[in-house]
A and B are shown apart, each in its own frame.
Chain A
Amino acid sequence: MRKKVLCLLASLLVIPAVAIAQGIDASPSDDPAPTVEADVSTRTLEVTTGFTGHEIVVFGAIDNSRAPIGDNHYYDVVVVVEGTPFPLVVRRKSDVGGVWINTSSVTFASVPSYYAIASTRPIEEIAGPPVLERHAIGFRHIKMTPGPSYKGTLKDYELAAFREAVIRLKKKQKLYVTEPKDGVTFVGRSLFRASIPLPANVPVGPLVARTYLFRDGQVASAHIARVTLHRAGIERLVHNFAFVYPASYGIIAVLLAVAAGLAASAYFRRQPG
């Protein structure tokens, strides 16, 4: 089990890095190539009982910038913050004799639990679909493939409807967020920043913040930073306990309920009326 988890973690860490490395186009000139470096304002976030969401700031700088002084639009920067991928079931209802019933479903093997994108301009203006697809930039290019149980019974456009439903519903839950214009703002010639809102319901787990530097529709440089989001305090204690020791959790739930019921009745018996 542990081995499996390690493998999974390793693959999560390696794949985006490889993909990014392959995607960068070598610069023909002799000048040192512009590179982007970025970091996140908060490296570790704790989800406690009082967690109501948080805003993280991804900030960075372009080294060896070739941008002419005063031209803030020479480069484009795209920041993608992605949560841990999870399997997800999408169900579709249809009208069966007057009652709306879930009649078909697709299980996607891995769907990012959270996906935020911020960019200097709308991404369609920054680069073409093949580039965006390669780097999984934009809702339309989020990696989402049906799981092994999928029998391929749906037509392509139907499958697309399920994909779109995931994006629509995740957007509604504020788990897929986009800042298409001025989501990334330059502070001077080479410094930039983007604020990414994490809602209260953001699933815990590691978040990966990928920063891309674009010039002429191509990725000139990319950088990865990580944020860990973990449960803390009572909330963590309760959640872990419930999933690791369900029997003890059940006993505690029963005892708490009985104690609460008895305490309440004892209290109100003392208060006449």
Chain B
Amino acid sequence: MNIYLPIAEMSVNAALLLGMGWAIGFLSGMFGVGGGFLLTPLLIFMGVPTAVAVGTGSMQILASSVSGAIAQYQRRNVDIKLGVVLVAGGIVGSVVGVSLMKILRQMGQFELFVSLCYVTFLGAVGALMMIESVGAMRKTQAGQPSSRKTGQHNWVHGLPFKMRFQRSKLYISAVPPAMIGAFVGFMAAIMGVGGGFVMVPALIYLLRVPTSVVIGTSLFQIVFVMAATTMLQAMENKAVDIVLALILIVGGVVGAQFGAAAGARLKGEQLRFLLAGLVLLVCMRIGWDLMVTPTEIFSIGPTIGG
């Protein structure tokens, strides 16, 4: 059955979209990631305009993160104070991202910029994750428990505007979390991702936030920043397709249930290894499209008001 998407202005098979939502949901449930970095490129490959893919991605991520965020909040795994600082930064980043997106669309360079962002971030995160997970698997084979140094001080602790974040047992400057939030918000707006894959390592390795509150606080930030980004994308770029998002959400929540069950059977480092492989594959696919000589060097599009 074909369905006409009102904002993407194209007719697509509804069953195909549901299946795609399911597959993305399955992978995100399995790996415990938002899945935006898979969904947005997939929508673009399908022919959805890049801006609509990115804007609609924000709405889908909001839906898939909200229940997780509430569950984490109920288990008291959210550092609200740290979360608010991250959200404040995140909204600033999102505003900058959405505005930059509008300018780049007028210049005709938005697609390129998105692709470059994807190649850079997915390449870096994928490679780091791959190295880390291979190392962890070796250690497990050798029988050593994996350990993480805690309580170490670094340059982060020398900055002003110090705040006490009780739940995270931290007394640090508000500047780094605000910067991290802003960076993730910017990425979220431009790439149509939640940004958990940058946020979580940043909180753990840069701020030394205890792992118990990292996921919850990250989800807290994602929910609010995605809500703001969805609003901004709708207002500035008219790039949120509610019909497309709802179909993906329905497919996604079902897929996530199966994915979570499948993920429970694998070890953490095995999951991270598989996820790293997936991330690198997406990265290479997008990179390939940038480098390979296109069969059609021309493209047409509507003029974007300005």
Residue from B2, B67, B238 whose CB has the most chain A CB atoms within 10 Å? B67
How far, in angstroms, from A87 to B70 measured CA to CA in the complex?
47
Shortest beta-carbon distance, A82 to chain B, in Å? Answer: 17
What is the chain B residue whose CB lies nearest that of A236? B6
Residue from B232, B261, B303 whose CB has the most chain A CB atoms within 10 Å? B303
* Contact of A107 with B303 at beta-carbon distance under 8 Å, contacts A201-B11, A238-B7, A257-B59 already known: yes
Q: Return chain A residues, CB-CB under 8 Å to B9.
A: 201, 203
Contact status B299-A90, CB under 8 Å: yes
Q: Return chain A residues, CB-CB under 8 Å to B250.
A: 260, 264
Contact status A200-B234, CB under 8 Å: no
Instruction: Give the segment of A25-33, A69-77, A185-193, A244-252 that binds chain B.
Output: A244-252
Contact status A251-B231, CB under 8 Å: yes
How far, in angstroms, from A87 to B303 measured CA to CA in the complex?
6
Contact status B298-A250, CB under 8 Å: no
How far, in angstroms, from A49 to B66 measured CA to CA in the complex?
28
How far, in angstroms, from A104 to B4 measured CA to CA in the complex?
32
Interface members, chain A 214-258 (any B CB < 8 Å): 231, 234-236, 238-239, 242-243, 246-247, 249-254, 256-258
Instruction: Give the segment of B81-89, B155-163, B193-201, B289-297 that binds chain A.
Output: B289-297
- The total of Cβ contacts below 8 Å across the A-B interface reads 183
A247 touches which of B11, B67, B231, B297 (Cβ 8 Å) = B231
Residue A152 lies at the interface, judged by CB distance under 8 Å to chain B: no
Contact status B245-A253, CB under 8 Å: yes
Contact status A250-B234, CB under 8 Å: yes
How far, in angstroms, from A256 to B242 measured CA to CA in the complex?
8
Residue A51 lies at the interface, judged by CB distance under 8 Å to chain B: yes
Contact status A105-B291, CB under 8 Å: no
Shortest beta-carbon distance, B98 to chain A, in Å? Answer: 11
Q: Return chain B residues, CB-CB under 8 Å to A88.
A: 300-303
Q: Return chain A residues, CB-CB under 8 Å to B261.
A: 273
Contact status A257-B245, CB under 8 Å: yes
Residue B62 lies at the interface, judged by CB distance under 8 Å to chain A: yes
* Contact of A235 with B232 at beta-carbon distance under 8 Å, contacts A91-B299, A265-B67 already known: no
Residue A89 lies at the interface, judged by CB distance under 8 Å to chain B: yes
Contact status B6-A242, CB under 8 Å: yes
Residue A102 lies at the interface, judged by CB distance under 8 Å to chain B: yes
Shortest beta-carbon distance, A233 to chain B, in Å? Answer: 9
Residue A157 lies at the interface, judged by CB distance under 8 Å to chain B: no
Contact status A247-B10, CB under 8 Å: no
Residue B109 lies at the interface, judged by CB distance under 8 Å to chain A: yes
Contact status B67-A238, CB under 8 Å: no
* Contact of A261 with B65 at beta-carbon distance under 8 Å, contacts A89-B302, A102-B299 already known: yes
Q: Return chain A residues, CB-CB under 8 Å to B297.
A: 92-94, 100
Shortest beta-carbon distance, B49 to chain A, in Å? Answer: 12
Contact status A50-B62, CB under 8 Å: no
Q: Return chain B residues, CB-CB under 8 Å to A170.
A: 300
How far, in angstroms, from A191 to B243 measured CA to CA in the complex?
44
Contact status A256-B246, CB under 8 Å: yes
Contact status B253-A261, CB under 8 Å: yes
Q: Return chain B residues, CB-CB under 8 Å to A91.
A: 108, 298-301
Shortest beta-carbon distance, A179 to chain B, in Å? Answer: 22
Instruction: Give the segment of A8-16, A34-42, A131-139, A161-169 that binds chain B.
Output: A161-169
How far, in angstroms, from A135 to B261 measured CA to CA in the complex?
65
What is the chain B residue whose CB lies nearest that of A238? B6
How far, in angstroms, from A257 to B30 measured CA to CA in the complex?
21
Q: Return chain A residues, CB-CB under 8 Å to B230.
A: 250, 253-254, 257
* Contact of A243 with B238 at beta-carbon distance under 8 Å, contacts A107-B303, A165-B298 already known: yes
Q: Return chain A residues, CB-CB under 8 Å to B65.
A: 261
Contact status B238-A246, CB under 8 Å: yes
Contact status B109-A99, CB under 8 Å: no
Contact sample, A vs B, 19 pairs, CB 8 Å cutoff: A48-B4, A91-B300, A91-B301, A100-B291, A102-B299, A161-B298, A166-B300, A203-B9, A235-B6, A238-B242, A242-B6, A246-B234, A257-B62, A257-B245, A258-B62, A258-B227, A262-B66, A265-B253, A268-B253
Interface residues of A, Cβ cutoff 8 Å to B? 47-53, 86-95, 98-102, 105, 107, 161-162, 165-166, 168-170, 200-201, 203, 231, 234-236, 238-239, 242-243, 246-247, 249-254, 256-258, 260-262, 264-265, 268, 273
Interface residues of B, Cβ cutoff 8 Å to A? 1-4, 6-7, 9-11, 59-60, 62-68, 70-71, 108-109, 111-112, 226-227, 230-235, 238, 240, 242-243, 245-246, 249-250, 253-254, 257, 261, 290-294, 296-303
